[in-house]
Amino acid sequence: MASGTVTVRLPEEVIGQLQKRAAAENKKMSDLVRELIIGGLAPQVVESPTQDMTQVLNYLEGFGGVLMSILFETVGARYFAEMSTNYAMDMESLLREKQPMEKEAKAALLAKFEAQAAQAAKATIDKALL
């Protein structure tokens, strides 16, 4: 292949970087510059959308398993928390009033607790997203 000469003006700091790199790679500076230019002009290899989608789907599939595990743990924790709260409310009412709490009063108090828990969860999520 025939070759020609091109003269290019570069800032002194770029020339210094090229000299350091050429020395590190044990090359002539002209060889290094030629390789960089030719490499920069080479067509870029782009993965096909199918490959990209496969990678995304594989990632999401693994992530979905993690999310499902978290969901199961959360559901279990909520169940046991609600059961414990009910038990504590019954015990407190029995100790204080010598009788179980009425269903309506208990439901209203549980709704209040749930609203406060939802507020606290929202505040935590808001902080995490900042």
- The answer, yes or no, to whether residue 95 has pLDDT greater than 70, is yes
Backbone angles phi, psi at 24, to 5 degrees: -65, -35
Boundaries of domain holding 32: 12-41
Residue 2 lies in a domain: no
Number of structural domains in the chain: 2
DSSP SS3 for 107:
helix
**Do residues 93 and 124 share a domain?**
yes
* Residue matched to tokens 């902080």: 127
**Do residues 72 and 120 share a domain?**
yes
- The answer, yes or no, to whether residue 51 has pLDDT greater than 80, is no
**Do residues 53 and 98 share a domain?**
yes
* Residue matched to tokens 């969901």: 71
**Do residues 23 and 86 share a domain?**
no
pLDDT given for residue 49 in this prediction: 64
**Do residues 82 and 124 share a domain?**
yes
What mean pLDDT do residues 56-79 have? Answer: 82
Our measurement of the distance from residue 61's CA atom to the centroid of its chain's CA atoms, rounded to an integer in Å, reads 15
DSSP SS3 for 52:
helix
Residue 82 lies in a domain: yes
Q: What are 73's two structure tokens?
A: 């743990």
**Do residues 27 and 82 share a domain?**
no
The least confident of 12-16, 31-35, 51-55 is 51-55
**Do residues 57 and 116 share a domain?**
yes
- Entry pTM: 0.41
Q: Is residue 128 very low, low, confident or very high in pLDDT (cuts 50, 70, 90)?
A: confident
C-alpha span between 55 and 47 (Å, rounded): 11
What mean pLDDT do residues 9-23 have? Answer: 89
**Do residues 79 and 36 share a domain?**
no
Structure confidence by residue, pLDDT tens digits, 19-36: 998 899 899 988 888 888
Share of the chain above pLDDT 90, in %: 12
* Region of residue 98 (left: phi > 0; alpha: psi -120 to 50; beta: else): left
Sequence letter at residue 24: A
